[in-house]
Amino acid sequence: MGNHGILRGWAQIRKSFATLIFLMVIASCDQNQPSMPALPSCEDNCAMILRGCVSDHSSCQSAYLSCMEQCGGGSHNATKPYFTSVWGSSKEDVFVIGCGIILHYDGTNWTSTPNVSQYSLSALWGSSGGDVFAVGSGSVLHYDGKGWSPMAEFSGTDVWGCSDSVVYAVGGNALQHYNGKEWVTKASFSNAGLNAVWCSSANDIFVVGNRILHWGGIKPWIDMTIDADLLLVAVWGSSGNNIYAVGWVSGTPSILHYNGAEWGVMVNNTHAALNDVWGCSGSDVYAVGCNGTVLHYDGTKWTAMTSGTKSWLLSVWGSSSQDVYAVGEDSTIIHFDGSKWASMTTLAVSQ
């Protein structure tokens, strides 16, 4: 994802910065305006800028900071890199990526990968610790267990796979497929604004953005879009009939669920803007978002957790229910040990 970028799924918001500022003016920074309850807050729109970075990350972060100034937003550090995605093969093998940075955690120490400052990366996925993919602005990188190297040139906002030869990446209106040898375009859509992809198999693929589209192994793709005003940024499932997606429906921050037959909006009393979703199982699901929001789903209801941070969280992943990571702006990394979330921001980042 389960990323989320800043970055991850919002990369397909092809609106200019000026348009976002316009939206902020409409929404206003006044949370008490009853006439515009469905629009994202001023700060939410700034987060969209971060999540929409598929171009130069330094100018993108500058735009975000300027945006927050206009909102009168809180403390946001311009000198710290922001992290867009987290994924690992085990608790001793965790990767974090972002704008010009790749980190690795061996269970004890974080280390930084040299010579990657030119890459603006949005999402991570791997079939193993020696077969990891990272997509971003104009580049796809691959890790073979020894080092990172470029493998393709296209812009992607998310990547997910079912095996080492069934890997998918989305960006814009296209779905790319890695077949074990090369990346090829599997499908192109109109007005899809794709942000995220998830699959349970090569014949069960979901892509989301401004639309929800499903591949069941037989043409054509099925359009499952539930609302004309839809903007989904992340998707994850425990199986083909238990899938979660987060984003906006009719301007309202929402969590969607697919039960194998239809999509529906779940009850979420926090109404927080969410950026990513991931789980250990269908009864142990996490969603992260603005102002340090972390939600947990136990199979019955969503509950807010205390994260200990106010930073925007963009991605979540874990090796188990006692080993969950969330990352985001201001070089934020927090870890859940099954009992509580704790900061890992003491980590030294070198670029």
1 is a domain residue: no
12 is a domain residue: no
Tell me the per-residue pLDDT of 56-72, one tens digit each, with 9 for 90 and over: 445 555 555 566 655 55
Query: CB–CB of 183/196 below 8 Å?
Result: no
What pLDDT does 27 receive?
34
55 is a domain residue: no
32 is a domain residue: no
Looking at the predicted structure, is the pLDDT value of residue 280 above 60? Answer: yes
127 is a domain residue: yes
Tell me the per-residue pLDDT of 126-161, one tens digit each, with 9 for 90 and over: 999 999 999 998 999 999 999 999 999 999 999 999
pLDDT tier at 92, thresholds 50, 70, 90: very high
What pLDDT does 145 receive?
97
In CATH, what number is assigned to the domain containing residue 313? Answer: 2.130.10.10
From 164-173, 191-200, 322-331, 337-346, the region with the lowest mean pLDDT: 337-346
Tell me the per-residue pLDDT of 285-315, one tens digit each, with 9 for 90 and over: 999 998 899 999 999 999 999 999 999 899 9
Sign (positive or negative) of CA dihedral 319, 155, 164, 150 = negative
Query: Is the pLDDT higher at 125 or at 346?
Result: 125
What pLDDT does 165 receive?
96
164 is a domain residue: yes
Query: CB–CB of 81/99 below 8 Å?
Result: yes
With 0-12 CB in 10 A as exposed, 13-18 as middle and 19+ as buried, what is 141? buried
Q: What percent of the chain has pLDDT over 70?
A: 75
pLDDT tier at 33, thresholds 50, 70, 90: very low
281 is a domain residue: yes
Which structural domain range is residue 324 located in?
83-343
Query: Is the pLDDT higher at 35 or at 256?
Result: 256
Name the 3-class secondary structure at 257.
strand
DSSP 312: P
Number of domains in the chain: 1
Q: What percent of the chain has pLDDT over 90?
A: 67
Residues ≥6 apart with Cβ < 8 Å to 135 = 121, 122, 123, 141, 155, 156, 157, 158, 159, 169, 171
Residues ≥6 apart with Cβ < 8 Å to 244 = 235, 236, 237, 255, 256, 257, 258, 277, 279, 285, 287, 297
64 is a domain residue: no
